[in-house]
Structure 1
């Protein structure tokens, strides 16, 4: 056959398909389906949650942690409002100290200013220590007009507690006159700063406190006091279980209960424990971590 005729037949004849090519074409859908089942690249199958009794039970962990985090948000708001409320009480006008000095009667007056008239019984004074110095409103190293040098006004000291006989009823209460350094602990060292006779002053109502962690027990027999236990102090010194902190007025230039060379008044520091921010951070972090673990485990 002439070459031109052969070439024309090759060009015009339909293409032939080999048997191997036909087999591949027939198996292509099966291969694609298997790839999708194995999660190989190119798979269009989306991941789904495997719901079961176990997955539902495990989901309760992040849900519970989230609910606790939300609860701590409410607790934080409540605690901040409480601190603001107590702080505002310190600047309110003073009221007369009630005749009824029971703990139930004074409970509603916590951190309130009261006015009392009477005289100090300096012979029965005692010191509760150690106590750091607290300067309301500003950070300073010594009080205005104090005879104490800056180096002497360290944080090492205590609170001078002096029994006070009320003029109206004759009852004796405890008044925290203020902070003094250690070298003024002995009664003879601050005799000249002791107010004598009948006086009127404003003070802040305080309640008893529990023994702080890592703080030693009070030893009344030896006159050693580490924390404010009103029942214990009242029994030891023959007073009512009532404690007042001598007030500090930021509106005047000289603190009303601070005596030059003597106690620095106004040692009422609103120290309300507030750990709710740490708690809510912990719970929300736990929510995130456990939720990611749950998704990794049950989303296939």
Structure 2
């Protein structure tokens, strides 16, 4: 048996010397034909991959070192790349925490705005109206005394409104109750100033919503004389680049599709302030729909609040990226 193995070993060495075959994946020393018995037996465990050659080029100087160097470069590259990839869960985790903080801040603003709605109204004079900033003072409860300018009245719409629930549904988002299509009435009001010689100020009063079939009715009652209304300060709607899908307003045709406060105030000559009349005030009872006046929606502190969805998204990306990198690390270690 041993003699047969020695014979096979010598035959292999002769093939190598003639240049017709070379070893493949494993490097085996063949400098001497005088091998001991252990070397002769171990040749069986040395896998050969045969390649036919035209010439007899020298074998690689040290293929094992070459393999080690290649393996080191691969490991070093993977470690370097993997380290940078761990920034993904770190950054997404930070963004998720930031959105949670933004959510708390927005909820505080909503609570603050809701409390303003139910406060005792303060008198909006000419001086205080000029100092009012809608974005800062939004939902502040005020009372205004003055005279309506019906000749400068505008209608914004069409808007869907649920008369059964007295809720404005914006530009067509249906909800509960019976929806109707109509317009919101904005009438400028000249504030009555008690101070002699003081310059008058004009503000916009959102009187409420009317159905579409009543827009052109001549018998729609106009409010004359000095009146007092109770409402809250409101800002306009985002226009321009933020709402590029919205149809542009056409003041010269009397078509207003969005509450562009800047353009409306320029067209009517009023300050950029909107006072939305509330529906739960005794002062406004004389302006009820039963008396031919517009429907007044209930005022709610509606502020854009998507921070919870954003936080869930970022935390989800953090979890997924962490699991992917952890599984990649385990697979790399097994190799």
Q: TM-score, normalised by structure 1?
A: 0.70
For residue 233 of structure 1, what is the aligned residue in structure 2? 264
Deviations 1:223-246 (A, max 9, x none): 111111222112222323222111
- The match for 2:165 among 119, 139, 144 is 139
Within a 5 Å distance, the mapping from 1:259-298 to structure 2 comes to 259-260=289-290, 261-266=292-297, 268-298=299-329
For residue 160 of structure 1, what is the aligned residue in structure 2? 185
**How far off its partner does 1:190 sit?**
1.1
- 8 Å CA contact 1:132–1:156 kept in 2: the answer is yes
- 8 Å CA contact 1:160–1:180 kept in 2: the answer is yes
For residue 17 of structure 2, what is the aligned residue in structure 1? none
- 8 Å CA contact 2:166–2:298 kept in 1: the answer is no
For residue 5 of structure 1, what is the aligned residue in structure 2? none
**How far off its partner does 1:291 sit?**
0.8
Q: Whole-Å Cα distance in 2 between the matches of residues 74 and 171 of structure 1? A: 40
Q: CA RMSD for the aligned pairs?
A: 2.8
Q: Whole-Å Cα distance in 1 between the matches of residues 258 and 131 of structure 2? A: 18
Within a 5 Å distance, the mapping from 1:122-137 to structure 2 comes to 122-133=150-161
Q: Which has the higher helix share?
A: 2
Q: Whole-Å Cα distance in 2 between the matches of residues 155 and 98 of structure 1? A: 36
For residue 89 of structure 2, what is the aligned residue in structure 1? 62
**How far off its partner does 1:270 sit?**
3.0
For residue 119 of structure 2, what is the aligned residue in structure 1? 92
Q: 1:256 to 1:278 in 2, by over 3 A?
A: farther
For residue 26 of structure 1, what is the aligned residue in structure 2? none
Q: Whole-Å Cα distance in 1 between the matches of residues 78 and 211 of structure 2? A: 68
- 8 Å CA contact 2:92–2:314 kept in 1: the answer is yes
SS of the residue corresponding to residue 161 of structure 2 reads coil
Does 1:121 pair with 2:153?
no
**How far off its partner does 1:280 sit?**
1.0
Q: Whole-Å Cα distance in 2 between the matches of residues 174 and 69 of structure 1? A: 41
SS of the residue corresponding to residue 62 of structure 1 reads helix
SS of the residue corresponding to residue 270 of structure 1 reads coil
Deviations 1:174-232 (A, max 9, x none): 111001110121251413xx322111111211123322342111111111111112221
- 8 Å CA contact 2:166–2:296 kept in 1: the answer is no
Q: 1:105 to 1:235 in 2, by over 3 A?
A: closer
Q: Whole-Å Cα distance in 2 between the matches of residues 66 and 246 of structure 1? A: 44
Equivalent pairs, count:
236
Q: 1:187 to 1:233 in 2, by over 3 A?
A: farther
Residue range with higher mean Cα deviation, 117-126 or 207-216: 207-216
Does 1:218 pair with 2:239?
no
Higher RCO, Cα 8 Å, sep 6+: 1
- The match for 1:177 among 207, 222, 247 is 207
SS of the residue corresponding to residue 190 of structure 1 reads coil
Does 1:52 pair with 2:72?
no
**How far off its partner does 1:51 sit?**
8.8
SS of the residue corresponding to residue 130 of structure 1 reads strand
Does 1:243 pair with 2:243?
no
SS of the residue corresponding to residue 217 of structure 1 reads coil
